[in-house]
């Protein structure tokens, strides 16, 4: 408990004193919402490699909602401290939580959005009348289906914005993420095993640029010995209290000099 309290205080002071704070999230930030992660002790790939069936979701998809860790990042946004959020997740929870789209790079796409191959615009499925029952999820690797809707802006082919194995990462999002990784002075890495590149390499970019990096993840990562703060506690046990403490530090008035008459 003493180590956890110390980590929370250190993280809070880093956050409060930051000039260009960037967050980097993986599947671990969404486990408290009921979504299994991939490489955790009971993750999708961990169970697959052990010959076990996939883990069950703890909630139905219709009940899926952002959790307190998503809300903590929104609080940082509202404080004006969060400059950018890089995410490997496709669950749409960051946008649903209230993160502004211009502050977010979803490097692996978003399962709720379709993307135009020609003009790169994104649309919610409902906005373009995409019927999953008729046309499937619209992955790039699948052939077009007769009658599926085109891009309303340019008439191009709409595909799922989710990046599957073998698909290229979205160029604009990757470029923006790299720029912010180079500029940041503090990076919060939350719930990622950091083994999927090129996304994970952005943590190395931040370290090389001199940023303080806090890594909160239950499993081991290749960056464990490189970051300045490493916690294996749950993200919800660290981030929300650190943000609450940072809010106190930011709003604390400067110490007044006591008049001595001399």
State the alpha helices, DSSP H only, in the chain. Answer: 2-16, 44-49, 68-78, 93-97, 132-135, 171-183, 201-208, 235-251
And the tokens for 10?
Answer: 């250190």
DSSP 157: B
Which residues fall within 8 angstroms of residue 44, CB to CB, at 6 or more apart?
A: 36, 37, 38, 54, 55
Tracing tokens 């001595």 back to the chain, one arrives at 260
- 205 vs 94: CA distance, rounded Å: 23
Nearest to 31 by CA among 61, 60, 58, 3: 58
- 97 vs 176: CA distance, rounded Å: 21
And the tokens for 130?
Answer: 């995409």
- 70 belongs to the catalytic site: no
And the tokens for 33?
Answer: 């919402």
Select which of 70, 94, 108, 180 is catalytic.
108
Tracing tokens 């952002």 back to the chain, one arrives at 66
List residues with catalytic annotation: 108
């Amino acid at each position: 408990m003493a180590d956890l309290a110390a980590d929370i205080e250190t993280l809070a002071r880093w956050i409060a004193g930051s000039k260009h704070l960037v967050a980097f999230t993986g599947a671990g930030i969404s486990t408290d919402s009921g979504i299994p992660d991939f490489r955790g002790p009971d993750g999708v790939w961990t169970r697959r490699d052990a010959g076990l069936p996939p883990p069950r979701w703890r909630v139905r998809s219709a009940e899926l909602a952002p959790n307190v860790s998503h809300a903590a990042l929104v609080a940082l946004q509202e404080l004006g401290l969060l400059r950018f959020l890089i995410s490997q997740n496709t669950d749409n929870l960051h946008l649903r939580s209230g993160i502004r789209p211009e502050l977010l790079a979803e490097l692996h796409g978003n399962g709720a959005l379709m993307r135009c191959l020609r003009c790169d615009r994104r649309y919610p499925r409902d906005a373009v009348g995409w019927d999953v029952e008729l046309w499937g999820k619209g992955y790039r690797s699948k052939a077009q289906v007769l009658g599926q809707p085109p891009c309303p802006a340019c008439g191009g082919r709409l595909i799922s914005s989710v990046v599957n194995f073998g698909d290229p990462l979205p160029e604009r999002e990757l470029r923006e993420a790299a720029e912010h990784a180079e500029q940041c002075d503090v990076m919060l890495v939350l719930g990622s095993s950091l083994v999927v590149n090129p996304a994970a390499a952005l943590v190395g970019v931040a370290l090389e640029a001199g940023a303080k990096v806090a890594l909160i993840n239950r499993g081991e990562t290749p960056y464990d010995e490189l970051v300045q703060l490493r916690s294996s506690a749950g993200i919800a046990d660290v981030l929300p209290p650190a943000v609450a403490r940072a809010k106190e530090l930011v709003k604390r008035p400067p110490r007044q000099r006591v008049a001595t008459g001399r």
